[in-house]
Amino acid sequence: MTDSKSGNIKLPENAYRKLNEGEVYQPVIPADKIVPEVTPYSLSWGLFYSVLFSMAAAYLGLKIGQVFEAAIPIAILAVGTSVMLKRKNALQENVIIQSIGASSGVIVAGAIFTIPGLYILGLEASFLQIFLASLTGGFLGILFLIPFRKYFVKDMHGEFPFPEATATTEVLIAGESGGSQAKVLVTAATIGGIYDFCVSGFGFWKEVVSTQVFGWGQALSDKFKLVLKINIGAAVMGLGYIVGLKYAMIIAAGSFLAWWVLIPAVYFIGQYIPGPIMNATIAIKDMAPQDIFSEYVRHIGIGGIAAAGIIGILKSSKIIAGAFKLAATELRGGVGTSKESSERTQKDIQMKWISLFLLFTFIGLFLFLLFGVVHLNIWHAIVGLLIVMIISFLFTTVAARAIAIVGTNPVSGMTLMTLILSSVILVKAGLSGELGMLAALLIGGTVCTALSMAGGFITDLKIGYWLGTTPMKQEKYKFLGTIFSAASVGLVILILYKTYGFGPGGLEAPQASAMAAVLEPLMTGSQAPWMLYIAGIFLAIILELIGIPPLAFALGMYLPIYLNTPILAGGIIAHFVSKSSKNEEVTKKRKDKGTLIASGFIAGGAIMGVISAFIVFIGKQFINPDWTIMHAIGTEHWSESASAEILGFVMFILLCLYLYWDSTREKE
């Protein structure tokens, strides 16, 4: 819609809230208005960014262990390019550029979390294997998600905060409209970017601060394993503002249960056990709180996420049944479309084509497992295909819901669960050893990419829903972006392996190293922590029974506490801003301005994170392998000192106060 006073494009006032009975959301570009979307301009830039960011994210993720989300930087670049070229009515073209280009980050996450594990285990993977695992996974993520698009982006309008989609939408709107919105966004992005670069780049203060910096905090940590940690980044706190207090409190509650109840409880009992237990390498009495979390408590969160996914599937059974019914109707030659779904802004790829594409993808995956994974036999290929089909389908809604709630996709946790389940099933089916590990990791890579794609794509579709993009065009061209991204990632992983190698003595690839460490004992007869997974499953069921969203709570248990505490801080600020005036109009203006500032923090943090990572990468390549910005300017030791940590606390408080102060400056 257009502001009649200023002429600026702006989101409708009901974009982020629940709709009243009978109320309908009208997107920025109405359904009856046709504007350029997929053009040679948007297609070429989208594919260019999908290749560029795929290669960059894979290089940086594997070489320096930093994975960045590409959606917001691509949106900023798209807006900047259209402004520089003075391109009129470029909003929908920029949406398509962002949607195609964002394939890069999700494909990279799916690949680098698993595929390097093959090399770490001493196995070889060809370009074709990496490409096909990423490609089929990406296609499955798109195809499984499309039937749920209407549910997540339209039916549940205002129910989920969609923090990343909100930030990206604000960037696109501000870039198109200019004026005061752009000024607020640019100012916030500058402040957030400089603030985050002072942390991750210059090391002027510490990024993760902890109560251990104080004497009393260290005593609590040593004696009771009780600790509070906060990531003081502007981007994470901005994310919390958009998430809002309700979900921020649920997520934080899960984290507090893990860190302030379960970790001390595990230590209290485990301190009397002399040696390591389960798959740990050191005794509990010698573990730090982080070690207890990683070895034991986090597995409860993984079980909870898995159970929450199953609960979500059961609760969405009518939607799933409707999708199957629609597919069956169309395949029999029926109409299968409603008046609503014939509107431009509600048009999806028809279910008959989705069914056909799924069939082709399944056939391709079966042939890949049969002939591409060192020639599995037909029985093992069928088992592998069923694992990918069932787990990808079940966890697709989990990934989408996680992104919709908190903006973080727990894909590594779901992939770890996939590896464990597939390993147990494959061993029972008679496949173990090196061939079993190769099959399990490629299956895990396919599922990981599918879930990563589902989580990322629901963000694109929500952006399109708010702005009035044709969903079918986003869906069609997402396939093309996936092809280019999968090829780029496969090439980069192969080059990096040939150049540096993975694991000790080469590139660390931390996520893939963890996957390989879990997989190897399973294929040789060791046990997984099933009791911890079962505890998480029962916890999720109990939470559902008492009306607490189990996925948000389980996410809090799975994610490190230092990521959840700043989300809570942002949620608290959002609450106080919403209560800062008794005038509803003023309150609305203040909340909207706060959302714009928080989006700026996220955008600035994302851009500076990419720049910081590139600078470090170039330094390591051309100066020395241990080079960092902090080393170059002499703040390397300072950034890890107690003084830098205390300064981090102070700067974070000042940043929170700024967000509240600037948001509440809006008057009647």
pLDDT, averaged across the chain:
81
On the question of pLDDT at 569 being above 50, the answer is yes
Written as one letter, the residue type at 47 is L
In this prediction, residue 568 carries a pLDDT of 92
In this prediction, residue 256 carries a pLDDT of 94
Q: How confident is the model at residue 497 (pLDDT cuts 50, 70, 90)?
A: confident
List Cα–Cα distances, 61 to 110, 496, 583, 585, 615, in angstroms. Answer: 12, 11, 47, 45, 14
Region 23-46 average pLDDT: 86
Instruction: State the total domains in the chain.
Output: 1
Give the 3-state secondary structure of 605-642. Answer: HHHHHHHHHHHHHHHHHHCCCCCCHHHHHCCCCHHHCH
On the question of pLDDT at 332 being above 80, the answer is no
Cα separation, 580 vs 575, whole angstroms: 9
Most confident of 280-284, 526-530, 575-579: 575-579
For helices 245-257 and 561-578, the axis angle rounded to 10 degrees is 150
Region 148-168 average pLDDT: 84
Region 633-657 average pLDDT: 89
Pairwise pLDDT comparison (107 vs 515), residue with the higher score = 107
What pTM was computed for the model?
0.75
In this prediction, residue 239 carries a pLDDT of 80
Cα separation, 12 vs 7, whole angstroms: 14
Pairwise pLDDT comparison (1 vs 481), residue with the higher score = 481
Region 321-325 average pLDDT: 66
Q: DSSP per residue over 271-298, as a string?
A: TT--S--TT-SS-GGG--HHHHIIIIIH
Residue range 273-295, pLDDT digits in tens = 888 887 777 888 888 888 898 88
Most confident of 265-269, 330-334, 519-523: 265-269
DSSP, res 346: G
Q: Classify residue 530: in a domain, yes or no.
A: yes
In this prediction, residue 258 carries a pLDDT of 93
Radius of gyration of the chain (CA): 24
On the question of pLDDT at 503 being above 70, the answer is no
In this prediction, residue 90 carries a pLDDT of 82
Cα separation, 44 vs 35, whole angstroms: 18
Q: Classify residue 35: in a domain, yes or no.
A: no
Q: How confident is the model at residue 451 (pLDDT cuts 50, 70, 90)?
A: confident
Q: Classify residue 410: in a domain, yes or no.
A: yes
Q: How confident is the model at residue 642 (pLDDT cuts 50, 70, 90)?
A: confident
In this prediction, residue 514 carries a pLDDT of 66
* Helix extents (H) in 284-377: 289-292, 298-315, 317-331, 351-367
In this prediction, residue 657 carries a pLDDT of 95
Confirm if 663 and 230 have CB atoms less than 8 A apart: no
For 172, the token pair is 């696109």
Q: What is the dihedral of CA 342, 348, 353, 354, to 10 degrees?
A: -140
Q: Classify residue 34: in a domain, yes or no.
A: no
In this prediction, residue 665 carries a pLDDT of 85
On the question of pLDDT at 667 being above 90, the answer is no
In this prediction, residue 7 carries a pLDDT of 47
Cα separation, 193 vs 191, whole angstroms: 6
Which residue segment(s) compose the domain that 610 sits in? Answer: 40-214+232-260+273-663
| Helices vs. strands in the chain: H and E counts, helices first | 28, 2
Least confidently predicted of 131-135, 147-151, 174-178, 563-567 = 174-178
Cα separation, 92 vs 162, whole angstroms: 20
Q: Classify residue 224: in a domain, yes or no.
A: no
Confirm if 200 and 66 have CB atoms less than 8 A apart: no
Residue range 602-615, pLDDT digits in tens = 778 767 776 776 78
Q: How confident is the model at residue 181 (pLDDT cuts 50, 70, 90)?
A: low
Residue range 631-640, pLDDT digits in tens = 788 888 888 8
In this prediction, residue 6 carries a pLDDT of 43
In this prediction, residue 262 carries a pLDDT of 93
Residue range 84-131, pLDDT digits in tens = 888 877 888 889 998 998 888 788 878 877 888 888 877 877 888 888
Cα separation, 110 vs 559, whole angstroms: 18
Give the 3-state secondary structure of 559-589. Answer: CCHHHHHHHHHHHHHHHHHHCCCCCHHHHHH
Enumerate residues 6+ apart whose C-beta is below 8 A from 614.
56, 60
Q: Classify residue 21: in a domain, yes or no.
A: no
Q: Classify residue 571: in a domain, yes or no.
A: yes
Residue range 45-76, pLDDT digits in tens = 999 888 877 877 776 667 545 555 677 778 88
Region 624-645 average pLDDT: 82
Q: Classify residue 432: in a domain, yes or no.
A: yes
Mode of pairing for the β-strands spanning 229-231 and 208-210: antiparallel
Cα separation, 221 vs 68, whole angstroms: 31
Region 251-263 average pLDDT: 93
